[in-house]
Structure 1
Amino acid sequence: MFLKRCQISLTDLLLYNYHIEFLTATILNWKHLLKDDAYKQVIVDSLQWLTEQARCTIHGFVIMPNHIHLLWRISNLHDRFNVQGALLSYTAHRFKTVAKEDGKLFKHFVADKDRLFQFWERDSLVKECWNETFLLQKLNYIHHNPCQPHWKLAATPEDYKWSSARFYHTGVSEFGWLKHYAG
């Protein structure tokens, strides 16, 4: 009945047509959990897995000490909520394992009624990139983030390992799953 009233076909509902999206996910209370490369590698491995499973395409990223930025496109037949949930849930479980190994798990103890540990803030920022101007603004922003005076993680964007900047600067990617936004 609802489908008929709104004149939306079941096919239209099932085949999502996502634009590239800008996602920011932040570590709870802005803690610098991602300062350690072991945690950054968890993010990289998760992005690789999502692309291998054809859930999304990654067009740009940066991993900062307390947050990540992604430019990604969710694949047809997948729902952004589920793909984003898979990324954040899986990385949180892996973070818990790494934190146990390095003895830092207690720093993430929250004792909420629904969980004992929490790594990510609950509401990630998502902005759809409706045009190339906005997309390039976000790509430039994420690539220059490590060079900001308050971070000083790299002298130039392409010097920062945990980013897509080198790929866009040289055309060569050490991340096989990374794809240029223009195809």
Structure 2
Amino acid sequence: MELNQVYFWTNTIKDWKRLLQPDKYKHVILQSWQELVSRGVVCIYGFVIMPNHLHIVWEMLEPNGKEIPHASFNKFTSHTILADLKQHHPQVLPFFSVDDSDRLHRVWQRDPLAILMDGQEKVEQKIEYMHRNPLHERWNLVDSPENYRWSSAPFYETGLDEWGILTHYKDRF
């Protein structure tokens, strides 16, 4: 992903495991985004956190030290979740084992999907898609998008940003 471009980004848990089902891991994701937003290295226009993946429409504004912000996000969330699994759920760790030379475990699948959003219409389509994800028959998590706490849908419905991380996409496009 290039700096100062808006992307629809999908990040998936290794082997589509439902690792993000517990709220504590959703909080890890939100904590990482809060840190990146507070540092001014990303701008987030919309998101949804599902049990085994997440979608986000965001913009990388500048490097986070020597890293692109999405790499910092993956590193922080992986380390934090793996530390919790080791301490509280060691029986789950084997599901995330890998035979890589640089690591023993992997939380996120390799090569997240990044799609350039080059206009307001595309952004609106992806945000609508994200917000409807929890209603999909596969998940059936809520009855309307704004009732799903783990997305930006409540922000777009009420204007309230529970997590303090969102910028309305119309402020960009």
Match of 1:25 in 2: 11
Match of 2:95 in 1: 107
Match of 2:121 in 1: 133
Match of 1:85 in 2: 71
* TM-score between both structures, scaled by the size of structure 1: 0.86
Instruction: Using the TM superposition, name which of 142-151 and 92-101 deviates more.
Output: 92-101
Query: What is the CA-CA distance between 1:67 and the residue it aligns to?
Result: 0.6
Aligned pair count? 166
Write the distance in 1 (CA, Å) between the matches of 2:138 and 2:19.
Answer: 17
Write the distance in 2 (CA, Å) between the matches of 1:31 and 1:48.
Answer: 25
Q: For 1:160, which of 122, 132, 148 is the aligned residue?
A: 148
Determine whether 1:39 maps to 2:25.
yes
Query: What is the CA-CA distance between 1:134 and the residue it aligns to?
Result: 0.6
Q: CA RMSD, aligned part only? A: 1.5
Query: What is the CA-CA distance between 1:108 and the residue it aligns to?
Result: 1.6
Conservation of the 8 A alpha-carbon contact between 1:42 and 1:94: yes
Determine whether 1:116 maps to 2:104.
yes
Write the distance in 1 (CA, Å) between the matches of 2:84 and 2:6.
Answer: 31
Structure (1 or 2) with the larger CA radius of gyration: 1
Report the identity percentage: 39
Q: Secondary structure at the match of 2:70?
A: helix
Determine whether 1:98 maps to 2:98.
no
* TM-score between both structures, scaled by the size of structure 2: 0.90
Determine whether 1:170 maps to 2:158.
yes
* Amino acid in structure 1 at the alignment position of 2:42: C
Gaps of 5+ in 2: none
Q: Which runs of 4+ in 1 moved over 4 A?
A: none
Query: What is the CA-CA distance between 1:93 and the residue it aligns to?
Result: 0.2
